Amino acid sequence: MAKLLVIDDEIIIRERLKKLLLLDKYEVYSAENGIEGLKMFETHEPDIIIADIKMPKISGIDVLKEIKARNNMIEVIMITGHGGCETAIEAMKQGAFGYIQKPIEYDELHIEIEKALEKQQMKIKIDSYVKELEYRVNEWEITFNCVSDMLSIHNKEYKIIRCNKAFIETFKFNPDAPDSKPCNEMFNCQEERDCLNVKTYGSKSACMKEMYYPELDVYLEVTASPIFGSEGEFKGSIHIFKDITQRKLYEEKMKASLQEKILLLREIHHRVKNNMEIISSLIELQIEDSSDKQLIDVYNEMKNRIRSMSLIHKMLYQSENLSEVNFNDYTKSLVVDLINSYCVDPSMIKIDVNIDDVLINMDTAMPCCLIINELVTNSLKHAFTETKTGALEISMQSLGEKTYELVVRDNGKGIPEGFDISQSSSLGLKLIRTLAEYQLGGKIEMNTSAGTEFKLRFKELQYKKRV
C-alpha cells in the first residue's frame, strides 16, 4: 500500500484530502506546515508527497527542494491556489511531478497520485538496471585489468579504442590522448599482410603471429579475434599480446644445441666411416703384399664387407635426419662398388636395381646391407663363370606396415642341385642366414629353378634404447 504525506496549512483541505485518500486505501499522514512535513518525511518515509505551495514559515517550493535533495526518488505533487501559475511552473522546474489547482478535484488528484506512483516504480526499476549495469561494467573493467597479458580492442580504422592496464603500462600508451597512434603505426604493421585486424576480417576467425617489438626489445605473440556487430558487420578485433621473449631465447638455445648435436653425430658417422676405410686400406696393403690367390680372394671379400658397412655411415652423415638411410641410393652405390671390385663388364652382365624409395633405420639397414653385399657378390663371383653374360636383378618392395621384400635374382648357372642353405658351412651363406633370421627376424627362401633367386621378407626393427 502506498504511503502518502499531505502538507497543507488549511485544516479543512488537509482533513478532506486525508479522509478521501484513506477511503482509497492509501496509508496517509498529514502535516500542517513545511517544517512538520519534513519531520514526518523522515519518520514515515512516504512514497508520494502532496504539498501546498503557499504556506507560512517555509514555502511548498522550499519543502520540494529539500525533499528532492534528500531523496530524488520521492515524487511531489504541488497544490496551487488560483492564479498561481508561475509558481507552479517554478515547482515543475524544481522537480515536482505535477500540480493541482484549488479547489481540488479529488479524481484529478487520484489520477495524478497513481501516475506519480507508476513513474516512481519505473524510476526504481531503471535505477536498479543502471546499478546492475554499472556493477557489470565495473566487474568487466576489473577483470580486463586483472589479465597480465596486454589486451587491446581495435576498431576497423586501426584505432585502439580500449586497452587494459598491462597494455597501458607496457607500451606507455595513453588511451585518452586524442592523437594516440593507430595500431598499425604503433606496431609497425605497414603491410596489409602483417595486420591481424585485416587478417581476422578476411578469415572471420582468430589469427596469430609472432613479432619483435624493438622499442622494448621483446618478442610478442599476438592473437587477434574479430568482433562482429549484431548484424554480422565487422567492427574490429581484440588483440592479446603475450611476452614470449624468454621462450624465444630458450628456443634459440635449443636450436643451437640441437645443431651442435647434429654436427657431432655427423662427425661421428664420418669418423666411423673413415676408420672403416682405413681398415679397408690396411687389407688392401695386405692384398698387395700377398701372392696367394685364395688369400687375396678372402681379403677382397673382407674388404668389400667392411666397405658395404662404411657406405651406410657415409649415407647417414649425408642424410637429412641422420638416423635413416635411403635404401635405393644405398643399394645403387653398393652395386657400383661391387661392380668395380669384381671388374664386371656392364655390357656383359646387365644389372637392374629396383628399390622402392624407402628410408630404413640404421639397425635394420646394417644387416640388410651385408646380406645384399653377400648375395650380389655371390652372383658376380659364381653365377656367370661359364656364360660370362647374364642378368642380375636386385629389388626391394615395401609391403606396408614397415615390411619389405628383398629379392636378388640372377639367371646364371645356379647353385648346385641338392645344396642345402641351412647346412652350408661356407661363410657367405651362413652370414646371410644368420643376419636374415636372427638379426632381422625375417624369412629367407632360395629358388634355384632358373638361375639363383633369394627372397627375404623382413620387418623394420624397432629402435632399441642402448643406455
CA nearest to 276, candidates 239, 310, 252: 310
Cβ at position 361, least distance to ligand ATP in Å: 26
Taking CB under 6 A as the rule, does residue 311 contact ligand ATP?
no
Interhelix angle 362-378/293-318, nearest 10 degrees? 150
Number of residues that bind ligand ATP (CB under 6 A): 17
Task: State the residue for C-alpha cell 497543507.
Answer: 8
Sign of CA dihedral 407, 408, 412, 418: negative
Cβ at position 285, least distance to ligand ATP in Å: 20
Task: State the residue for C-alpha cell 651385408.
Answer: 370
Interhelix angle 245-289/293-318, nearest 10 degrees? 170
Rounded CA gap, 120 and 462, in Å?
82
Rounded CA gap, 103 and 107, in Å?
12
46 prior amide bond cis, ω within 30 = no
Residue number, 367 or 412, with CB nearest to ligand ATP: 412
**Could you say which of ligand ATP, Mg ion, none residue 95 binds, taking C-beta under 5 to 8 angstroms by partner kind?**
none
Rounded CA gap, 455 and 453, in Å?
7
Cβ at position 373, least distance to Mg ion in Å: 9
**Cβ neighbourhood burial of 342 (10 Å; 0-12, 13-18, 19+):** middle
Residue number, 184 or 378, with CB nearest to ligand ATP: 378
Strands 150-155 and 160-163: antiparallel
Cβ at position 409, least distance to Mg ion in Å: 16
Rounded CA gap, 81 and 87, in Å?
10
For Mg ion, which residue of 106, 428, 448, 459 counts as binding (CB under 5 A)? 428
Q: Which residues in 438-467 contact ligand ATP (CB under 6 A)?
A: 452
Cβ at position 452, least distance to Mg ion in Å: 11
Taking CB under 6 A as the rule, does residue 75 contact ligand ATP?
no
Cβ at position 426, least distance to ligand ATP in Å: 3
**Could you say which of ligand ATP, Mg ion, none residue 412 binds, taking C-beta under 5 to 8 angstroms by partner kind?**
ligand ATP
Residue number, 381 or 457, with CB nearest to ligand ATP: 381
Taking CB under 5 A as the rule, does residue 378 contact Mg ion?
yes
SS3 call for 350: strand
For ligand ATP, which residue of 427, 445, 450, 463 counts as binding (CB under 6 A)? 427
Rounded CA gap, 206 and 189, in Å?
17
**Could you say which of ligand ATP, Mg ion, none residue 383 binds, taking C-beta under 5 to 8 angstroms by partner kind?**
ligand ATP
End-to-end distance of the chain based on CA atoms, in angstroms? Answer: 88
Cβ at position 290, least distance to Mg ion in Å: 19
For ligand ATP, which residue of 164, 197, 326, 379 counts as binding (CB under 6 A)? 379
For ligand ATP, which residue of 91, 283, 383, 436 counts as binding (CB under 6 A)? 383
Which residues contribute to the site for ligand ATP (CB under 6 A)?
Answer: 301, 378-379, 381-383, 410, 412-415, 424, 426-429, 452
